[in-house]
Structure 1
Amino acid sequence: MKRILIYIIFSAFLQPFTKATSYDPLFHTDSIFDKRIKTVRIHREEWNLSYPIIRLNSSDRLAFYFDLLDDHPETYYYTFIHCNKDWQKSDLFTSDYLEGFSYEEISDYRPSFNTTRSYFHYRLIFPEERLKPLLSGNYILYVYPYDKPAAPVITRRFMISEDAAGIDISVHRPQTEDSKHEKQQVDFTVNIAGLGIIDPFRNIYSFILQNGRWNNAKMNLKPDVYGSDELKYTSLSDRNIFRGGNEYRYFDIRSIKRPGENIERIDYRAPEYHVLLLPSNSREFRPYFYSKDFNGKYFIAVQEGRDPDTDADYLYVYFTLSLPEKPGAGKMFVSGLLADWTFGEENRMLYNPGSKQYECTMLLKQGWYNYEYVFINRDVKEGISSRFEGSHSETENDYHILVYYRNPRERYDRLLATGSINTLNKMAY
């Protein structure tokens, strides 16, 4: 009976969106719409620090997790939305890209154990036989309460690749004098031999992601040299050049009994724990120093428990960045996957003129975290971390190449292939 009711409600919701239409663009981003939901993660199954990319018609699966900070569980369902290369809804019917049911329940959830803050931990491994994507491309994982399909609580991006083309990638310093010490150039060649691509210059679009981020992606790149078999991307002015940035700052809150790395102290103020990080200072003019990091990501772990999914507690973490004065008109943020690479009120820092520092408090689950400080000038969308973090051509980063193909006879963008490289080991992974 419950499933019949869900079908009726979901069908009513789905009908106006069966093909591409205009609706909230936030639905196409990594967003959380319910403040009770925290620690949303999506990655390759059993590979916590990987990126959400799998191969079409393979055994690859993705793991998706989140916590509901509440004393009682709620019933959530999920579906997939196919998007074009620019993350707008594709001009497809649901039946064109989904096999099986149009939605499914997230039935795997467990309560927290022995934590100061109660929560329920939800887990989903997909694709499943009952709900499986049929096409390559960009997808949105769309999670909603069982009775409110038009009001998502979580949206998450993931990609399915055909793995049909070969991609050779190299990363090096740019040749220009003003860029070679602080930036990285990503060159790549795409082998499309034997794929029957129609007008590759017009219909193939390549993207470059740095550390899995979309907020500084290089998008819709065209090759500077092309033929029927190869596309070369080497001399694209600054379109394939990134700021190298710096190795990410980090802290360890796996234990509530003894401070981990970069923790000044841990206080228990009933009913919760409060963690004060060591004060931060600007790194803008400091020389490069290598330290191993997770390229802005985090992983959940706990020392006083067995299962980090349900035994890790939530702690208030206090960030401070010492600056003698405000750096002008703009806003400062704590940035990284801990904030979904977004710039919102939860990770915005406020300047305290008395202590001459920026301050921010975030509620985070126990684990090991990377982060950086990003300043966004007024009326500028992209933040600049190099202003207080520095930027170096030696910095270790991950780069992903995404190659999309729009066949003129089809109504969607295929993800033809993906490739990746790490600047430290120069190896694809």
Structure 2
Amino acid sequence: MNKTFFNFLTLFLFSISSFSQVAYELNPPDFIKTVTFKSNTTQGQLPVLKLGEPLMLEFDALTGNEEDFYYVIEHFNYDWTPSNLVKSEYLKGLDNQRILDYENSFNTYQIYSHYNLRIPNQQTHGFLKSGNYMISIYDDYDELMFSRKFMVYEDIANVGVSVKRSRDVKVIAEKQSVDLVITTNGTNLNNPLETIKTVIIQNNNLNTAITGLKPQYTLGNELIYRYDTESAFWGGNEYLYFENKDVRAANVGVQYIELGDLYHNYLYTNINRKDRPYTYNPDINGNFLVTIIDRDNPDIEADYVMVHFSLLQDELKTKDIHVYGNFNYFTIEPLTQMIYNPESNRYEITMLLKQGFYNYKYVTVDRETGELDEGAISGNFWETENNYKVLVYYKDLGARYDRLIGFGEATSENITN
């Protein structure tokens, strides 16, 4: 084979494979904290925006140097492979712009700068297409700091979501099943078995989302999903929580405080709940909220606190234990891993967190397989109140991208058999 042609073919195949790679989020370095998406009603949750609604991303940089950050936005298919759209087709205006809106912390022990990005703005005027998006934040040296996924939907299809007890008797006490009914508002969807894709998300955690389900029945303009096992999630347990909106006094979940270079909050020691009866304990489904008392602006007046977690638990020989929640984007990494203390028979970890109200739980990771078990410490109960979001994508025959045509949401608070 001609050497020049071989090199060209190799480069072409490499380009094809690189282009079709699935996109993953990059978590921020340790000096960037409290990455949150905001809307008029929520903070920190997985952002699912209606086409035309603004996107608001905020984060803190703890260096105190007023660094410059830039944002880049990309469009993806439902499976997070890059779409075939060019930027001018899905984005009105320009990206790769510097984030201009930032403020320095005021009257806090921990110095930081709070960055606030809102789209639309003067350079980026908004999104033109529905679907999956990724926003990436770069520093002055063009190094990627972190990236986050978000979704933009069109209100074309109604998505009915109901939560049932599992239909599998083996796990009926531990799992919840999600049923769907998708109704099109007069729009003709061609060959829905192939063109419709769904994603079911529990408690805003994309890591455990269920994808790829096809409608089982078609009744008029309704697509019906009533799977026995394929749409079932482990019920989990209600999240543990603490609140430290006043760092000078012990609050909900905080046993005592100390002041060094920063305030230290020592949480009450938690216990293994797997083999204990389920107890209803209202939570915010793994989310968090930055909040303070006796001050006006939590964005720049909330301080950072060293939060000490502890779990009364015999040492596990084959598994690691991590602290898990939306505040760390359900990440498993060295910064979330607890260390076993043989003197106290406790697993312990200290995290630097901004003042607020936090949900968290303890999960295990198998050292050999890397398998995550959310119920190993908390247990799994069918009664647990969970939030479920459903995204419906449509890619018509010959279309170049997946449209996000419907969004539905439900909780298991009124779960039925």
| TM-score calculated relative to the size of structure 1 | 0.88
Q: Does 1:44 align with 2:33?
A: no
Aligned length: 401
- 1:63 is aligned with what amino acid? M
Call closer, same or farther: CA 1:383–1:338 in 2, change over 3 Å: same
Out of 362, 371, 378, the residue aligned to residue 360 of structure 2 is: 371
- Preserved contact between residue 168 and residue 229 of structure 2 (Cα < 8 Å): no
What amino acid does structure 1 have at the position aligned with 2:145? Answer: V
Sort the Cα spacing of 1:350 and 1:83 in 2 relative to 1 into closer, same or farther, 3 A: same
Alignment check: 8 A CA contact 1:165 1:417 kept:
yes
The reply to whether residue 411 of structure 1 matches residue 404 of structure 2 is no
Question: Could you say if the C-alpha distance between residues 46 and 181 of structure 1 is closer, same or farther in structure 2, counting changes exceeding 3 Å?
Answer: closer
CA deviation after TM superposition for structure 1 residue 227, in Å: 5.7
CA contact (8 A) 2:167 2:229 kept: no
Change (3 A) 1:72 1:26: farther
TM-superposed deviation, 1:304: 4.7
RMSD of the TM alignment (CA)? 2.2
Deviation at 1:353, TM superposition (A): 2.3
Pair 1:293 & 2:283 matched: yes
Q: Which of 333, 339, 344 is the matching residue for 1:355? A: 344
Alignment map for 1:319-398 (pairs within 5 Å): 319-326=309-316, 328-398=317-387
Match of 1:248 in 2: 239
Q: Could you tell me which residue of structure 1 aligns to residue 138 of structure 2? A: 144
Residue number among 164, 179, 183 corresponding to 2:175 in the alignment: 183
* Structure-1 residue corresponding to 2:269: 279
**Given residue 217 of structure 1, which amino acid in structure 2 is its aligned partner?**
A
Partner of 1:110: 103
Residue 85 of structure 1 aligns with which residue? 78
Aligned-pair distance for 1:379? 4.2
Contact 2:339 2:349 in 1 (8 A): yes
Distance 1:24 1:356, change over 3 A: farther
Residues of 2 paired with 1:24 and 1:168: CA distance? 32
| Aligned pairs (5 A) from 1:14-93 | 22=18, 28-29=24-25, 31-48=26-43, 50-56=45-51, 58=52, 60-93=53-86
Structure 2 residues not aligned, in runs of 5+: 1-14
> Aligned partners of 1:396, 1:422: CA distance in 2, in Å?
7
Letter in 1 for 2:244: I
Q: 1 CA distance for matches of 2:21 and 2:61?
A: 24
Instruction: Provide the TM-score with structure 2 as the length reference.
Output: 0.91
Q: Which amino acid aligns with 1:37?
A: I
Matched position secondary structure for 2:373: coil
The separation in 1 between residues aligned to 2:141 and 2:76, in whole angstroms, is 24
Q: CA deviation at 1:77?
A: 1.6
Question: 1:312 is matched with which residue: 287, 302, 326?
Answer: 302
Q: 3-state SS of the aligned residue for 2:144?
A: coil
Please tell me whether the aligned partners of residues 27 and 155 of structure 1 are also in contact (alpha carbons under 8 angstroms).
no
- Say if 1:45 and 1:62, in contact at 8 Å, map to a contact too: no
Task: Check the 8 A contact 1:136/1:416 in 2, yes or no.
Answer: yes
Cα deviation, 1:27-76, whole Å, max 9, x if unaligned, reads: 632x33432110000132453265411111x3x22321100001210111
Query: CA separation in 1, counterparts of 2:178 and 2:372?
Result: 21
* Percent identical: 35
Provide the secondary structure at the position in 2 that maps to 1:284: coil
Query: Would you say 1:208 and 2:200 are equivalent positions?
Result: yes
From 112, 118, 123, the equivalent of 1:125 is 118
User: CA deviation digits over 1:56-105, x for unaligned, max 9?
Assistant: 1x3x2232110000121011121211011122222221122111123332
Matched, 1:264 2:260: no
